[in-house]
Amino acid sequence: MTKSKAVRIRQHGGPEQMAIDEVEVGEPGAGEIRIRHRAVGLNFIDVYHRTGLYQLPMPAALGMEGAGVVEAVGPGVTHLKPGDRAAYASQPPGSYCELRVMPAKTVCKLPDAIDFDTGAAMMLKGLTAQYLLKRTLPQGGLKEGDFVLFHAAAGGVGLIACQWARAMGLQLIGTAGSDAKCQLAREHGAAHVINYAKEDFLARVKDITGGRGVKVVYDSVGKDTWDKSLDCLQPFGLMASFGNASGPVPPFAPGILGPKGSIYMTRQTLFTHIATREATQEMADDLFRAVTGGQVKIRIDQRYPLAQVQQAHRDLEARKTTGCTILTL
Ligand code: NDP
């Protein structure tokens, strides 16, 4: 048995619920690896886990993303070996630690050209941008020149999506909560930006698209943007809801989708897309190509030592962060 520092909560609540415990880490079982983290990614889903919007059995470990060196592999694991550099997005939560035993299925070898910090920052957010832009498609697919609306475009997932959308030839309209964030989204490939803290994003979207609306809305903000987002869509457009940063979307009647132009609605989660080793690797390879090829740069704007995890959560929730955030070890 080896010991590891690990961030855990004993009950759902505010950032003060997170404490650093010392835990015992054993040998990996079948289908598992033991990984020593070099860096850990912070994601908004960690906030949902902490607050209890997404419930966890207690005590609960937090964190869904990390990068490090594989120390040991359990029976049946063939795609990794001790000494491999690796990175992952994975459930159950538990990446906020130095060392852990975890399922190997979604852990991928990290290309030499990608450093640990970048690997830790990009897996959950990058694979999410991948499935949103390439696997969550409107009728007829997405074509060059198509308009899409992406909320919180200056955030972790957002800045990756801006760059990837540009590489795909899409006209991404990005929203963000300040002029500085809008500028950042524009610099990363958003064709148009809207400061939704002071502008009516529906009116601006109609204006930008000549009244037609967008083919897809990617909405991770939830409660605050939901109603107007639906009205931003063109007929047969797709509402891709994927988060609740402002709170969950209230229940709605499917009948409202008809008069709005027979629009489609989907609520996706990354973990359905990376349910198999094959799918994970295929998506990760696409992401690795985009990053090593320079189409997508992973911007790490915040770094906090693991001991400052409470402050990291406070800043993320207070909308003070841009791009990706990592916890350093
Ligand atoms: P971000 O870095 O994007 O941070 C969240 C951003 O949401 C904030 O910076 C803020 O940007 C915006 N926001 C709008 N309203 C609020 C509010 N009331 N409180 C806090 N933030 C608000 O986080 P991530 O990149 O980690 O994740 C982005 C979103 O994608 C999250 O909602 C997350 O849950 C979701 N997600 C979903 C996945 C899935 O598969 N379903 C997988 C990965 C992420 P601004 O100030 O510009 O409005």
Q: What is the DSSP-derived secondary structure letter of residue 110?
A: P
d(CA 167, CA 127): 16
Q: Where are the beta strands (DSSP E) in 53-127?
A: 60-61, 65-73, 85-89, 99-103, 107-109
Answer whether residue 1 shows pLDDT above 90. no
Which has the closest alpha carbon to 176: 167, 208, 315, 157? Answer: 157
pTM of the full structure = 0.98
- State the distance from the centre of ligand 1 to the C-alpha of 98, rounded, in angstroms: 26
- Matching CATH number, 137-267, of 3.40.50.261, 3.40.640.10, 3.40.50.720, 3.60.21.10: 3.40.50.720
Closest-CA residue, ligand 1 atom 46, reads 177
Q: For ligand 1, which residues put their CB under 6 angstroms from it?
A: 43-45, 124-125, 128, 152, 154-158, 176-177, 181, 220-221, 224, 242-243, 245-246, 268-270, 316-317, 319, 321
- State the distance from the centre of ligand 1 to the C-alpha of 246, rounded, in angstroms: 8
Tokens 């189409």 -> residue:
295
| 67-100 pLDDT tens trace | 999 999 999 999 999 999 999 999 999 999 999 9
Return the pLDDT at 105: 97
Closest-CA residue, ligand 1 atom 35, reads 243
Count of other CB atoms within 10 angstroms of residue 290: 22
Return the pLDDT at 303: 98
| 218-243 pLDDT tens trace | 999 999 999 999 999 999 999 999 99
Return the pLDDT at 35: 98
Q: Which ipTM score applies to this complex?
A: 0.99
d(CA 176, CA 266): 22
Q: What is the DSSP-derived secondary structure letter of residue 97?
A: B
| 248-258 pLDDT tens trace | 999 999 999 99
Length of the chain in residues, anyone?
329
Return the pLDDT at 228: 98
Please choose from 43, 44, 219 the residue to mutate so as to test ligand 1's pocket, defined by most ligand atoms within 8 A of CB. 44
Q: Where are the domains of the chain?
A: 2-125+271-328, 137-267
What would the CATH number be for the domain defined by 2-125+271-328? 3.90.180.10
- State the distance from the centre of ligand 1 to the C-alpha of 245, rounded, in angstroms: 5
Q: Can you tell me the mean pLDDT for 248-277?
A: 97
